[in-house]
Copies of this chain bind each other. A is one copy, B any other.
Amino acid sequence: MASSLEDMIQSSGNIVDVLRNSKIGMYVYPVVAPEFTNWRSEQAAWRNSVVLYDQTHHMDEVTVEGPDAEAFLAHVGINDFSNFSLNRAKHFVPVTPAGHVIGDHIIFRLAQDKFLTVGRAPTSNWIMFQAAIGKWNVKVSHDPRSDSRPDGKAIYRTHYRFQIQGPDADKIFEKINGGPVPDVKFFHVDTINIGTRRVQALRHGMAGAPGLEIWGPYADKSYIQSTIEQAARDVGVDLHKVGARAYSTNTVESGWIPSPLPGIYTGDGMMKDYRQWLKEDSYEAAGSIGGSFVSDNVEDYYTNPFELGYGFYIGWKKDDFIGKDALTKMKGGKNRKKVTFEWNADDVMKVIESSFRPGEENYKWIDFPQPNYASSTADMVMQGDKMVGMSMFNGYSFNERCMLSLGVVDDSVEEGDVLEMVWGEPDGGSAKTSVEPHKQTTIRVRVSPTPYSTEARTNYADSWRTKGS
């Protein structure tokens, strides 16, 4: 029986086959109720009033502390650390020696020699591995995400984590804090009062709306949540808790791609050691690839930081960090660029309607509001016969009244171009448990800016008919 990712790769022939047929099921936003009100109203609330995201359960947390903590993390991530003062957070991105993105976390500097990083497993695993093989004087501790299917069992975490977001958010903060909230700069941390607690708060924001991310001991979760909800009632603000179904769609409006395939399946030396260190039940080994794009070469699913819009994070002045040489070379090259794909509504209807024809083969069901059916998604985006892009994360937006996805396109593709996305998997669908039998079709997508905005849609509204058909 395989015991490491490397063993699996050696015995499988092709890791893409393994990942495309993973039995792990949907990648879900766990523990939180599917809906508190309904997912349409929850989506509308983050644009029109205010929402409470419960981010307690869906992310790993890694704590790195010790005299070498800063040096270690500056070595592992591509980010500039020169301006990483206390009470600040960054979007931390590690890459492989070949320059491929592994994942990303939010990293908080809690003390001079203590950092907390929060996000999906690939970055956690890489940090832990790097600490294990290096000679850094650091202590790393790991709190993995909550069980995807608790099934009535109690869930315990180290921290609760909430985000309060939306145009009315500041009214709640002022009420909770008993006065104006400190004018914290974006991605800076301060403390605010919540009832009897003094709580750390990160100034965050989605599409320009004000917001704070707060965290503290898990035992305080109910107290903090009820205090926030009471404050909202007191100031007459329509606070919506966001359920698991709506949560994962907020990013299609804001433009962050949460799920690039970690670029760790290839490479020798340290990369091979890493794959021997990763167990068969790790995210990297047990996770799944979904979508129409099938390549024998797993590297075709990788992305680099320039493609995902992270180029400006890079700390070029650092003496060294993992991937520096590779990124230096990539910098001058032709990189793809991140875009939003706006899905043609008629084509979406065509897909749905196919599941209303008894006795006929259906297209892949588009589930609402979140059609992703794998840990990482890769749908082919075509210009004629040429693949010019990859759709990587999708979702329906009731705010925009359309299905959107995020992905990358060749440099030659322009905003406004109408391309064809291949929807569904070849050969009747893979063996993933999240996939029902289906046949493939195409959906026209219009290349739009990231983040997607109403302006873009309005401006492009006429061009569907002219360019699309």
Q: List chain A positions with a Cβ less than 8 A from chain B.
A: 25-26, 28, 31-38, 40-41, 44, 56-57, 146, 148-156, 244, 345, 348-349, 352-353, 355-360, 362, 365, 367-368, 373, 398, 400-403, 433-436, 454, 457-458, 461
Q: How far is the CA of A458 from the CA of B433 in the complex (A)?
A: 30
A153 (CB) vs chain B CBs: closest residue: B154
List B contacts of A57 (CB < 8 A): 152
The 10 closest A-B pairs by CB, nearest first: A152-B155, A154-B154, A345-B356, A37-B433, A40-B436, A33-B149, A358-B401, A41-B436, A38-B434, A31-B152
Chain B residues with CB under 8 Å of A32's CB are 151
Smallest CB separation, A317 vs chain B (Å): 44
| Inter-chain pairs besides A28-B34, A37-B434, A355-B401, 9 sampled, C-beta below 8 Å | A32-B151, A34-B34, A37-B433, A41-B436, A152-B156, A345-B353, A357-B401, A358-B401, A368-B368
Cα A373 to Cα B433 with chains together (Å): 28
Contact partners of A357 in chain B: CB under 8 A? 345, 401
Q: How far is the CB of A196 from chain B (nearest CB, A)?
A: 22
CB neighbours (8 Å) of A400 from chain B are 358
Known: A352-B349, A352-B352, A398-B355. A36 touches B25 (CB 8 A): yes
Q: Are B358 and A353 in contact (CB under 8 A)?
A: no
Q: Is B356 in contact with A401, judged by CB distance below 8 angstroms?
A: yes
State whether B148 touches A33 (Cβ < 8 A): yes
CB-CB under 8 A from A151, the residues of chain B are 31-33
Q: Give 11 CB contacts A-B under 8 Å.
A: A31-B151, A38-B365, A38-B367, A38-B433, A146-B152, A150-B152, A152-B154, A345-B353, A348-B356, A349-B352, A359-B401
Tell me the bound Cα distance from A40 to B368 in angstroms.
13
Which residues does chain B contribute within 8 Å of A353, judged by CB atoms? 345, 349
**Copies of this chain in its oligomeric complex:** 2
Residues from chain B with a CB closer than 8 A to the CB of A359 are: 401
Partner of A433, one of B28, B36, B146, B356: B36
Answer whether A26 and B35 are a contact pair too, CB < 8 Å, given A400-B358, A402-B358: yes
> CA A86 – CA B352 in complex, angstroms?
49
Cα-based distance from A365 to B401 in the complex (angstroms): 12
A402 to chain B, nearest CB (A): 6
A457 touches B358 (CB 8 A): yes
Complex Cα–Cα for A436 and B40 (A): 6
For A457, list chain B residues within 8 Å (CB). 358
Q: CA of A359 to CA of B385 in the docked complex: distance in angstroms?
A: 35
Closest chain-B Cβ to A217's Cβ sits at a distance in Å of 14
The reply to whether B40 and A402 form a contact with Cβ atoms under 8 Å apart is no
Chain B residue nearest in CB terms to A222: B151
Which B residues are in CB contact (< 8 Å) with A348?
Answer: 356
How far does the Cβ of A35 sit from chain B's closest Cβ, in whole Å?
Answer: 6
Among A37, A41, A457, which residue has the most Cβ atoms of chain B within 10 A?
A: A37
In the complex, what residue of chain B is closest to A353 when comparing beta carbons? B349
A146 to B33, CA, bound (A): 14
Residue in B closest to A243 when the chains form the complex, CB atoms: B149
A457 to chain B: closest residue by CB: B358
Once the chains are docked, how many angstroms separate the CA of A457 from the CA of B356? Answer: 12
With A and B bound together, what is the CA distance between A461 and B358 in angstroms?
10
How far in angstroms is the closest Cβ of chain B from A155? Answer: 4
What residue of chain B has the Cβ atom nearest to residue A221's Cβ? B152
